[in-house]
Structure 1
Amino acid sequence: MPVISAKRMQDRRDSILAAAKQVFAEKGFEATSIADIARAAGISDGLAYRYFQGKRDLLNEVLRAFYERTMVDLEIIAGRDAPFETRLHDLIHRHLFAFVADADLCRLFISEVRTASDYQGSPVHELNRRYTSILVRIVEDGVANGEVRGDIDIRLVRDVIFGAIEHRSWAAVNGRPLDVDATARNLVELLRYGLVARPQTGSSR
């Protein structure tokens, strides 16, 4: 039997992952079979199992690639020598962009993966925790340097931001337009100023 080079093996693995991402996006996780993925990749079912344990393993790897690709950008944003508000805006903007750029994958995560009974404690759950911890770190930095109130509930801020992004982006993952720039700007302004009306500059009493 001829020896397959490491590059050839990696290329084949990448092609299977690309096929899995496509089929999961089209059919959803539950309705997808290894046979569907193998067919899309142009290989046999048996060959797919040589690279992955099953479709759950494939799903985890597809989502891991998504998370790690996005987290590279978020870590760069978090590490910048920039004001808190700038870093917060850029993180929110990048997260919104991820929903728009990978709408099918985000739809799959929201509708099937996160609601699954085995999500808690799963590799994908751990990836999500790492992902959201970058925002927590930015807010903690803001508290430490005096740009953010010291009595703020940081976990609540995290939940508000990611909850708002997900809710607003759900329309986008279902095909409706989302203005990423305006949404990021408005969300940061809402967090900064709250809901109470600000007095008009130069107004007289």
Structure 2
Amino acid sequence: MARSTTPSATRKAPKAVTTVPQRLLAEATRLFAERGYDRTSVQEIVEAAGVTKGALYHYFGSKDDLLHEIYGRVLRLQLQRLEAIAGKPDPVEARLFEAAADVVVTSIANLDDTKIFFRSMHQLSPEKQKAVRADRRRYHEKFRALVEEGQSQGVFRPGLSPDLVVDYFFGSVHHLGTWYRHDGQMSAEQVATEYADLLLHSVRQP
């Protein structure tokens, strides 16, 4: 099943970075991507952002907080968009397709952020790791609820484990950072359509 409509925007468009927190996040993201989280110092971040260490500690408290926010802002965006999609009056098939395509597009648009985070999450404090897992669990539960809704309506196969469907699909989404290239043969929308089609084919009643 090929669909022509997927969320727009393939890659994060350049934005005017004007505030101190925005500059710190932009430079931290760039440096973490280029050098790695553990090889980037606070001094290098503040010099690149053109601010003082005092400014960084005022807004973020630590380098750890910067890493946490880099991924947190992506996850908040995705959860907000998923809640809007799930609340639409459209058939559950259409909502699951749109939700699946949207998380692919937004992940690709923020590919550096997600790659940095998954590569460095283990370096967060235990408290922040716990908070991130809780935020991701809320997103996955909302996504899983669409699968369960389709099963209750007889649209999706009743024998499937909704948790397994979610784990299988998001395992593929999290793998995007290892192979997707913005200058490659497929656009973000094309990948999103393929992923969403595969998901719908796997859960739909034969």
Aligning the two structures, in what range does the TM-score lie when normalised by the shorter sequence?
0.7 to 0.9
Q: In 2, Cα distance between the equivalents of 1:44 and 1:116? A: 23
**Of the two structures, which has the highest relative contact order with CA contacts closer than 8 Å and spacing of 6 or more?**
2
Partner of 2:131: 123
Please point out which of 176, 195, 198 is paired with 1:187: 195
2:157 maps to 1:134:
no
- Partners of 2:122 and 2:101 lie apart in 1 by 22
Gaps of 5+ in 1: 1-9, 199-205
Residues 66-96 of structure 1 deviation map (CA, whole Å, 9 limit, x = unaligned): 2112221111111111222211221121111
Q: Distance in 2 between matches of 1:107 and 1:177?
A: 20
Q: How many matched pairs?
A: 186
Q: Residue type matched to 2:65 in 1?
A: D
Q: Which of 76, 87, 96 is equivalent to 2:84?
A: 76
* Greater shift in the superposed pair: 180-189 or 43-52: 180-189
Decide whether the 8 Å contact of 1:19 with 1:41 is kept in 2: yes
Tell me if the contact between 1:67 and 1:127 (Cα under 8 Å) persists in the aligned partners.
yes
Find the aligned partners of 1:163 and 1:22 in 2 and give their Cα distance: 25
Q: 1:12 to 1:169 in 2, by over 3 A?
A: closer
Give the 3-state SS of the residue equivalent to 1:172 in structure 2. Answer: coil
Whichever residue aligns with residue 126 of structure 1, its letter is A
The corresponding residue for 1:22 is 30
Query: How far apart are the structure 2 equivalents of 1:119 and 1:170?
Result: 27
- Give CA-to-partner distance per residue, 1:107-163, whole Å, 9 cap, x none: 112322268794884322222222222211211221222222333201000011111
Verify the 8 A CA contact 1:77 1:91 in the aligned structure 2: yes
TM-score (norm 2): 0.76
CA distance in 1 between partners of 2:52 and 2:124 (Å): 28
The structural deviation recorded for 1:185 is 3.5
Identity over aligned residues, as a percent?
28
Change (3 A) 1:187 1:149: same
Write the distance in 2 (CA, Å) between the matches of 1:192 and 1:148: 9
Residue 97 of structure 2 corresponds to residue 89 of structure 1: yes
Given that residues 84 and 142 in structure 1 are in contact (C-alpha distance below 8 angstroms), is that contact kept between their aligned partners in structure 2?
yes
Within-5 A mapping of 1:30-179: 30-113=38-121, 118=126, 121-172=129-180, 176-179=184-187
Evaluate the alpha carbon distance shift between residue 152 and residue 173 of structure 1 in structure 2; reply closer, same or farther with a 3 A threshold.
Answer: same
**Equivalence for 2:9:** none
Contact 2:68/2:124, CA 8 A, preserved across alignment: no
TM-score of the superposed pair, with normalisation by structure 1 = 0.76
Per-residue CA deviations over 1:166-198 (Å, capped at 9, x if unaligned) read 33452116964544344333334434445xxx9
Distance 1:136 1:62, change over 3 A: same
Root mean square deviation, CA, Å: 2.8
Q: Which runs of 5+ in 2 are unaligned?
A: 1-17
For 1:6, the equivalent position in structure 2 comes to none
